[in-house]
A and B are shown apart, each in its own frame.
Chain A
Amino acid sequence: MRDWTTFVRSRLCLTGLTPNREARIVRELAVQLEDFYRDGLARGLSESDADGEACRQISDWDRLAEDVRLADRLHAASRFDRLADSLDVAASAERAGIRGGARMLSNVLRDARYSLRQLRQSPGFSIVAVLTLALGIGATTTMFSVVNSVILRPLPYPQPQELVSVVEILPRFGRFSVAPATFLDWRAQNSVFEHIVAYTGGNATFVDANGPDRVINAAVSWDMFELLRVTPALGRGFSAEEDAPGKANVIVLSHGMWQRRFGGDPGVLGRSISLNGAPFTIVGVMPAGFRFPSRQTEYWVPLALNPANATRGGHYLGAIARVKTGTSIEQADAEMRTISERLALQYPENSAKESSEVRSLQETVVGEVRPALLILLAAVGVVVLIACANVANLLLVRGFVRAREIAIRTALGAARRRLISQMLVESLMVSLIGGAVGLLLAYLAIGPVQTLSAGSIPRVDDVSIDGRVLAFSLLLSVLTGVLFGLAPAVYAGRVGILEVLKEGGRSSTGTGGRWTRSVLLVTEVALSIVLLVGATLLLRSFSHLTDVDPGFQPERALAFRVALPNAIYREEHQRVAFYERLLDQLEALPQVTAAGLVQALPMRGDYTLSFTVRGRPDPKPGDETSANHRSISPDYFKALGVPLLGGRAFTARDAEKAPMVAIVDQSFVDRYFPGEDPLGQGIDIGNGTDGFYEIVGVVGNVHHAGLARDPSPTMYVPFKQDVFSSVWILARTDGDPAQLTPLARQVVKSVDPGLPVFGLTPLATVVSDSLADRRFSLLLLALFAALAVFLAAVGLYGVVAYSVSQRTQEIGVRMAIGARRGHVLSMVLTEGMKLALIGVAIGLIGALALSGLMSKMLFRVTPGDPVSYVVTAAVLVAIAALACYIPALRATRVDPIVALRQG
């Protein structure tokens, strides 16, 4: 009689059942077939006929397997099972006899279904693998969505590739704003642009029922909307006639201002409103989302340059253009350069050695942040690689555990190709689920990233998950799935049936597998070292930056802005009177210890003017000396906290009619009066029409252009001798500067009820805002590095722990023949640490090779900074030691008796 159990087992391919369950079913079917056989014999059949009859009882084994599997499933099927069932097309397609491509699809679907069950059977593995990938893919998708929106997505205008920005190149300052007369010449002489327009940002006081408010505007050439090819949503843009002095009393509203201040009333066209005390007629409303030149721009008015008095010395215009169809940006650049150089020769007194540059507008908007963003994207890509290596390791370990299953299936005739594809489908399932979770993480992360990067990255408000991001994360998921699935799949294809079966499927760690896992682990450690070095370099740069003395005391001071409308404050003495009253009233407050004003805050950039020194020959054109210029009130230095090093501060007597005086800072003295006494020297600021300012004092250096730049030479003049209509007020207090906010509003209101207060900021925030972009890069890179190190540590732990579990018997033998616990501990530790140290060494070399890429992001730290490398290596070795120590400790607790009995 045949062995019916073997007969059934060899024909019935049951998947997704527990081994016990499967055994029972096989046994029962065998028993019943044997019943049929014995029944046949009892009815007088020959042995072979009875055997044949019994065998014929089951003709379609696949179908039986399928029916059994379905019947066996719990009545209340889990959601997971229903998902798996929805993939059950495979079986039915096969039953229906479909072949070819459909059969391949049905195979893939069957593999997918099988994988889902496998994953459910080892939830620990599945959760770790999916979460690891979700972290990696999520972080990468977030970063890519930023890169996509900021760098890759074209500007939101038709034919954006034709848009360019045009700047002047000044011999001393490089790229610079455009002077009005130069712009008018460009416009008249060029043949490469369809349009070229100029614009300048400003702000104005707008009064409505809610009181006065400051709104940001832009004065633009009339054809700017046409250039950008954006038509107003309501009404019209400007006409050429309106772009002229005296005719420019028309205004186009932004969608936001129209909604906020006019309630979206379609009847606003033709309405007259008052801005800065002058009447304007509303002629149009731009569509939502149109924001140029800045996202805060609330309305536009014609620029109305006057050719009669346009100058070449005052550079304050931005210029953009659209190149004619068929003209390249390079051609445009060449022609504009020729024109500018001709103008430089024509007007040597103002424009000597000047040139121009035409760049794509996209490049101008995002060019500065591109390197940092790409470095971050690369960094996060490294995190994905580490995640892949980790999951590959997990799969490999699991592959060995499943080696017996694979060997048996191969022995039963499963094709290797099918096995490999089965393994790949399984890793793809893991990566796709990980990708889906990662996408969810990315979706949640975008908000915080926008908050974190506000002000340091252009266009960051537009960051969103669009089709390209979705495609990216899908591709990334598939790639990672193939990447980490490849090693186990190849291993599965190569697995030797005999070896596995001979070893009883227990300790099946071939040298090949161990080698692969070691390589993966070393790679992980090396990659995380690279990231960690990068983060450490940024961290040290950042800490050096925050250690920089800004030259003033940012704590306990409040800054805010007031701007006097020209229509009301026509004369200089009116403005001076306003400022004096405002400062007096502020200083009269018991909470305020000092109050001062200045036209431009520190940390926000230079405001430079050229000057000449009395008694020295005039410099040649193009070699003019220039320095930062600040117009200040007497108590400005007290309010800002800048020390007076010599001479005197300004007083109330340094007024319009009094002798002109100036104070310079130490770096000015070092540069222009080395070894001389600056006090009593005369400097002529600007274009030499006002005469010489006599230097009466010297103060400490202030960082005007940010902490990363050395303080540039600065000259201060009394505000009454150079009156600005828009100024910053600084108020110093003993307590919390935020408490001054309502007081500041009150004081301004009491001096002029029609004047808004804006830009209220603690001075300390001004300093920290200046570091926003560096903080953003640092935080993200640190986060990625932490993620990388964490993943590498988990990987290291996993490999060592697995190795310990495989060597339990060996360790038991060693301990039985007298090895001490300390010896076992060091043996296991050494094994893991050897890999970690190789990884650290390779990683340090890699970091040294790559860190040069980020030299622009560093401050007072060289890319090869030894401290960063040593600290990083030490941190990683410590973490690696911990990751190895836990399993090593477990190894020492192996009970020799138990271990040996297991053998």
Chain B
Amino acid sequence: MFSSELKKGSTEMLVLSLLDARPRHGYEIGKLIEARSGGRLTFALPTLYPTLLRLETRGWIKGTWVEKAGQRERCFYRLTPKGRRVLADQRETWKAYVSAVNDVLGESGA
């Protein structure tokens, strides 16, 4: 749908924002992105999983193994305080970027 170059820059932000609401496990994150984007955004496991590890290594998210009743044990990721700050920053930057891009497109379209 979108080129991988375009997606690359936003993957981290998407993951962080999905974890803003509550902790989720890896499979759930992939499926949520796909569902919320109406299937326009999909991230394959080989892309998504290293991203999770990278975010965790940076200390922005934290994975914990949890066994819920009737379910298999899974690794749930939650935002760390540091991750929350980073996400806020990224949202600001993203909005500014999108509005700048829109302005440019709007001008040239007019």
Contact = CB atoms under 8 A, between A and B. Distances in A.
Interface of A: 24-25, 28-29, 31-36, 39, 57-60, 63-64, 67-68, 70-75
B27 A32 contact: yes
Contacts of B27: 31-32, 35-36, 39
A32 B26 contact: yes
Interface string B30-65: 000000000000001110011101100111000100
B86 interface: no
A73 B50 CA distance: 11
B74 interface: yes
A64 B46 contact: yes
B18 interface: no
Given A36-B27, A75-B58, A68 B50 contact: yes
B57 A75 contact: yes
B57 A67 contact: no
A639 B45 CA distance: 97
Given A28-B26, A57-B45, A72-B57, A67 B50 contact: yes
B11 to A, nearest CB: 12
Sort A-B residue pairs by CB-CB distance and give the 9 closest, nearest first.
Answer: A71-B54, A35-B27, A67-B50, A71-B53, A71-B50, A64-B46, A57-B45, A32-B27, A75-B58
Contact of B46 (A24, A25, A36, A63): A63
Contacts of A25: 53
Interface in B59-77: 59, 63, 72-75
Contacts of A74: 57
Contacts of A68: 49-50, 53
A326 B72 CA distance: 92
B72 A64 contact: no
A795 B75 CA distance: 47
A32 B46 contact: no
Contact of B75 (A28, A36, A58, A70): A28
Contact of A71 (B44, B51, B63): B51
Interface residues of B, number: 19
A34 B58 contact: no
20 contacts: A24-B75, A29-B49, A31-B26, A31-B27, A31-B74, A31-B75, A32-B27, A33-B45, A34-B72, A35-B27, A39-B27, A58-B45, A60-B46, A71-B50, A71-B53, A71-B54, A72-B54, A73-B57, A75-B57, A75-B58
A67 B46 contact: yes
Give the one of A32, A60, A63, A68 with max B CB within 10 A. Answer: A32
Contact of A64 (B50, B54, B59): B50
Interface of B: 25-27, 44-46, 49-51, 53-54, 57-59, 63, 72-75
Nearest to B45: A57
Given A25-B53, A71-B54, 17 more contacts: A28-B63, A28-B75, A29-B45, A29-B49, A31-B26, A31-B73, A31-B75, A34-B72, A57-B44, A60-B46, A63-B46, A64-B46, A64-B49, A70-B54, A72-B53, A72-B54, A75-B59
B3 to A, nearest CB: 19
B9 to A, nearest CB: 16
Contacts of B58: 75
A34 B26 CA distance: 12
A64 to B, nearest CB: 5
A64 B49 CA distance: 9
Contacts of B74: 31
A74 B57 CA distance: 6
Nearest to A63: B46
Contacts of A72: 53-54, 57
A57 B31 CA distance: 13
Contacts of A75: 57-59
Contacts of B26: 28, 31-32
Contacts of A70: 50, 54
Contacts of A28: 26, 49, 63, 75
Nearest to A64: B46
Contacts of A33: 45
A467 to B, nearest CB: 45
Contacts of B59: 75
A31 B54 CA distance: 19
Given A28-B26, A31-B72, A71 B57 contact: yes
B25 to A, nearest CB: 8
Nearest to B28: A35
Contacts of B44: 57
B70 to A, nearest CB: 13
A316 to B, nearest CB: 82
Contacts of A73: 57
Contacts of A63: 46
Nearest to B74: A31
Contacts of B75: 24, 28, 31
Nearest to B46: A64
B55 to A, nearest CB: 9
Give the one of A24, A31, A33, A57 with max B CB within 10 A. Answer: A31
Nearest to B55: A71
A36 B73 CA distance: 15
Contacts of B46: 57-60, 63-64, 67
A39 B45 CA distance: 14
Contacts of B25: 31
A158 B74 CA distance: 80
A9 to B, nearest CB: 15
A38 to B, nearest CB: 9
Nearest to A75: B58
Nearest to B58: A75
B72 to A, nearest CB: 7
A67 B46 CA distance: 8
A33 B49 CA distance: 12
A31 B49 CA distance: 12
Nearest to B52: A71
A60 B58 CA distance: 25
Contacts of A57: 44-46
B74 to A, nearest CB: 6
